[in-house]
Amino acid sequence: MTAVPTAGVPTEGGLQASKGDAIPLITYRQALNDALRAELTRDKNVILVGEEIGIFEGSYKITAGLLTEFGPERVRDTPIAEEGFVGAAIGAAMLGMRPVVEIMTLNFSLIAMDQIVNHAAKIYSMFGGQTPVPMVIRMPGGGGQQLAATHSQNLEVWFAHVPGLKVVAPATPADAKALLLAAIRDDDPVIFLENLSLYNTKGEVPDGDDVAQIGKAAVAREGTDLTVIAYSRATTVALQVARQLAEVGISIEVVDLRSLRPLDRETVCASVRKTSLAVVLEDDWLSYGIGAEISATLMEGAFDYLDAPVRRVAAAEVPLPYAETLELAALPDANDLIKVIREVLAATGFPR
């Protein structure tokens, strides 16, 4: 294992085509597949559990090839029974297995909420630390696929609200791998949030055992004029906007939260104390969302440094419609972010 201080930290290099150097360029999907294969190989207690992950190779092909390689006991297809198989993974974890559960999409996790919130999150603490629950629940969320209201949600706040869970939301292929390795080796239940629109994105992913640290945000791009705080898909949008605005002389710092619980408030506040301006880009609905928590954090940790109110760019608060025009209108995108950044800068008389 090589100790690389930036292991798993998203950088712009991780989001762009590499220019012929040695670090492989792979998709987010492949990074997840590589991490699962590595852990199945490394630890015989790791098992994969979920609907259609074996013979069908996963609804989004994250588990492609793994059934053939590891067999039906290690890569276990389940009936359609989210409450049942998520809970079964909890019990298996209590006896020392390390299940990695795939819920086909985040939307179906609602059926398993009793097991996730009332059981996975409680068992270690409520029974006085006697039995950890080392498990991972992977699931993709996100809109933009014309899947309509019930199949397009971003419910990260539901999980991030709950003590006892760890919640990560990687933005890049490198982070997807490094955080999945960390999640599988962690002794607590980890909610691992993927986003449908990220699966085909490519980035540099170091070979080998780069294990990220859960609970730490990263400065994905340094800047001086304004901080954009984001996670998952929103981080990729924020970095794209930062590059675009750099061309017109605006220096954006991008903080990628990576971990939604625990939340690295110090990194967020340190960045905003430097830039004095903050915009949150988030894919969840606005009210009570991640941005609300970040804003409250900045009120407490950077109030005297702020030159303008913190603004949030979040999804419109409607059940997401199917029609493309309506879907596009509802979801936050680069143009929305640029508009808000410009408004915030204008409020301070930028350029100063």
Partner 1 sequence: MAERRRAAAARVKEPAAPPEAQTTRAFPADEPPEQLLGYYADMVLIRKFELSADQMYKRAKIGGYCHLNLGEEAIVVGLMAALLPTDYLFTNYRDHGYALMRGLEPGRVMAELFGKSTGVSKGRGGSMHMFDVGVRLLGGYGIVGGQLPPATGAALALTYRGAPGPDAEVVMCQLGDGTTNIGAFHESLNLAAVWHLPIVYVVVNNRLGMGTTVEAAAGEPELYKRGSSYRIPGERVDGTDVLAVRNGARRALDRARLKREPALLEVMCYRLRGHSVVDPARYRSSADVETAQAADPVPLLRQSLIAAGLLDEAEAQRFEADADARVAAAVAFADASPDPSPSQLFDYAYATPVPNAPHALPGEPVVVLP
Question: Where on the chain is the footprint of partner 1 (CB under 8 A)?
Answer: 45, 47, 73, 78-79, 81, 83-97, 99, 114-115, 118-119, 123-134, 163-164, 166, 186-188, 213-216, 259, 262-266, 269, 273, 297, 300-301
Task: Give catalytic status of residue 161 as yes or no.
Answer: no
Locate tokens 């939307």: which residue?
Answer: 107
Is the CB of residue 292 less than 8 Å from the CB of residue 317?
no
Distance separating alpha carbons of residues 347 and 27, to the nearest angstrom: 39
Pick between residue 82 and residue 282 the one whose CB is nearest to partner 1.
Answer: 82
Ordered strands of the 311-315 beta sheet: 218-221, 252-256, 226-230, 278-285, 311-315
Pick between residue 305 and residue 350 the one whose CB is nearest to partner 1.
Answer: 305
Pairing mode, strands 218-221 and 252-256: antiparallel
Pick between residue 24 and residue 132 the one whose CB is nearest to partner 1.
Answer: 132
Pick between residue 126 and residue 316 the one whose CB is nearest to partner 1.
Answer: 126
Paired tokens of 113? 């909420």
Q: Could you give the 3-state DSSP secondary structure of residue 191?
A: strand
Catalytic residue among 119, 151, 253, 282: 151
Q: Which of 15, 334, 30, 323 is nearest to 152 (CA)?
A: 323
Give me the long-range contacts of 299-307 (CB less than 8 A, separation at least 24): 301/265, 301/266, 301/268, 301/269, 301/272, 301/273, 302/269, 302/272, 302/273, 302/278, 305/272, 305/273, 305/276, 306/272, 306/276, 306/277, 306/278, 307/276, 307/277, 307/347, 307/348
Q: Could you give the 3-state DSSP secondary structure of residue 102?
A: strand
Collect all residues with Cβ–Cβ distance below 8 Å to 131 and sequence separation of at least 6. Answer: 94, 123, 124
Smallest distance from the beta carbon of 344 to partner 1, in angstroms?
21
Smallest distance from the beta carbon of 117 to partner 1, in angstroms?
10
Distance separating alpha carbons of residues 18 and 24, to the nearest angstrom: 8
Smallest distance from the beta carbon of 13 to partner 1, in angstroms?
24
Smallest distance from the beta carbon of 264 to partner 1, in angstroms?
5
Pick between residue 264 and residue 284 the one whose CB is nearest to partner 1.
Answer: 264
Paired tokens of 255? 């903080």
Task: Give catalytic status of residue 82 as yes or no.
Answer: yes
Smallest distance from the beta carbon of 129 to partner 1, in angstroms?
4
Pick between residue 17 and residue 55 the one whose CB is nearest to partner 1.
Answer: 55
Is the CB of residue 80 less than 8 Å from the CB of residue 111?
no
DSSP string computed for 47-70: EEEETTSSTT--TTSTTTTHHHHH
Catalytic residue among 82, 102, 156, 327: 82
Distance separating alpha carbons of residues 338 and 348, to the nearest angstrom: 16
Pick between residue 119 and residue 311 the one whose CB is nearest to partner 1.
Answer: 119
Distance separating alpha carbons of residues 59 and 68, to the nearest angstrom: 16
Smallest distance from the beta carbon of 208 to partner 1, in angstroms?
21
Smallest distance from the beta carbon of 136 to partner 1, in angstroms?
12
- Please list the active-site residues: 82, 151
